[in-house]
Chains A and B, each alone.
Chain A
Amino acid sequence: MTWWHRLWRRRQLEEQLNKELLFHLEEHAAELMARGYDPEEARRQARLALGGPEQVKEECRDARGTRRLEDLAQDLLYALRTLRQRPGFAAVALLTLALGIGATTVMFTVINGVLFRPLRYRDPARLFTLNEQTKGVSDYRWGDLWAYSYPNYLDCKNQSSALEMAAWRYNGGTVSAPGEAEHVDGVEMSAELFPVLGLTLERGRAFLPDDDRPGASPVAIISSGLWQRHFAGSGGAIGKPVVFEGKSYTVVGIAPPGLRLSFDADIFTPIGQNTNEIMRRRDAHPGIDVWARLRPGATT
């Protein structure tokens, strides 16, 4: 018989225990009466000989080995009764528990998402974000750490043997054709970004180093969402033009669904084709994020 089975049969066992002890007392009393004791005295003697019936029962329950669970069940019942008698207290206690559990859950969810869960990119332990350290300019929040200037990024990228580096910057604007015009978030990125993150495209090709320089023919990678909205998800979208900020780009690839950088971008263009003056200055920091992956064999 297992303990839970015994617990299940608790009432039955309890009745049997009563019956067994009662039988003992009555047999003993009957024998004493046969020896000439009057009934009252005989029963008293029998009870004395056995000892306190409650104590004996308690010891028998102990011997059965379900004692602790029975106590627990009784404690729980007592707690429930008490709570029902004092609904105000019960409500406060429940509310306290609910708020406590809720707050803990929220904190865990946030920390789990932000700190514990690995990035959704391949081999995330080898990914880094880089900042440029600039003398003389200081900021209350970041100190002398800044986003890269584009020429500094190019120099670092070309001279680093341990890191494969990629750059990207925000570049939102209007997609006006095909289909209905809409404002989208976009990214100017170096050709290395998708390989560094270990991403493969849904369709088409990633940017080549040849795309990523001034004067190359304008090409774009579009998000799966934009592909659905403006090209109805058609495979023929590759090679078609998309007009972004009034300039026509040839679609060369479709990004994988669910791709997120720091935000959901819908259109990607090569950063090297940006000939804006600010991109040529070493003292300008036009919001370029630099992400890097340790090359095979390199360690930190």
Chain B
Amino acid sequence: MTVKSDLPQGTLELLVLKVVALGPVHGYAIAQRLQQVSRFVVRVPQGSLYPALHRLENRGLLAADWKETETGREAKFYRLTRKGRTQLEKEAASWERLTEAVGLILSLSEGGAE
């Protein structure tokens, strides 16, 4: 069994926005997708997924409709609003800057500093 990491603060919303950006999707599928894509390294707390979804919907970054799934059940499908897409681009860019900077610091060769 691999060691799972907790999500860094605030990244859950970024990940949710990214998954929803791929097309309308319901909550359970978001949870699955996050787990699969992260190869089970990232532990997605299912309990905090729904509050995050409702928060994003409340902020107008996501919109939701009730639609039938392939199996004929009714589910709440989330999709990205225009505002949500802007927010996703902003947060993705800032995440990349951050990881790049952290990566640079971690790649310093030891003994290199005099």
A154 within 8 A of B: no
- Interface residue from A28, A49, A59 paired with B50 (Cβ < 8 Å): A59
- Whether the Cβ atoms of B50 and A55 lie closer than 8 Å is no
- Sorted nearest first, the 4 A-B pairs with minimum C-beta distance are A51-B47, A59-B51, A63-B55, A63-B54
A1-38 with Cβ < 8 A to chain B: 16, 19-21, 23-24, 26-28
Instruction: Tell me if B's interface is mostly helix, strand, loop or mixed.
Output: helix
Known: A16-B76, A64-B54. A23 touches B47 (CB 8 A): no
Q: Which of B50, B52, B66, B74 has the most CB of A within 10 A?
A: B50
Binding site for B on A (CB under 8 A): 16, 19-21, 23-24, 26-28, 49-52, 55-56, 59-60, 62-65
The yes or no answer to B87 lying at the interface (CB within 8 A) is: no
A21 CB contact (under 8 Å) in B50, B58, B74: B50
Cβ–Cβ < 8 Å partners of B48 in chain A: 59
Residues of chain B whose beta carbon lies under 8 Å from any beta carbon of chain A: 26-28, 31, 45-48, 50-52, 54-55, 58, 66, 73-76
Can you list 17 pairs linking A and B with CB atoms under 8 Å apart?
A16-B66, A16-B76, A19-B74, A19-B76, A20-B26, A20-B50, A23-B26, A23-B74, A24-B27, A24-B50, A26-B73, A28-B28, A50-B46, A56-B47, A59-B48, A60-B54, A63-B52
Docked-complex contact B73 and A23, CB < 8 angstroms: yes
B47 touches A63 (CB 8 A): no
What's the nearest-Cβ distance from chain B to residue A242, in Å? Answer: 81
B75 / chain A contacts, CB cutoff of 8 Å: 20, 23
Which chain B residues border A59 with CB–CB below 8 Å? Answer: 47-48, 50-51
Among A20, A23, A64, contact of B58 (Cβ-Cβ < 8 Å) = A64
Whether A23 contacts B76 by the Cβ 8 Å rule is yes
- Give Cα distance in the complex from A64 to B74, angstroms: 22
Instruction: Report whether B51 and A62 are in contact in the complex, using a CB–CB cutoff of 8 Å.
Output: yes
Residues of B within 8 A of A16 (CB): 66, 76
Residues of B within 8 A of A56 (CB): 47, 50-51
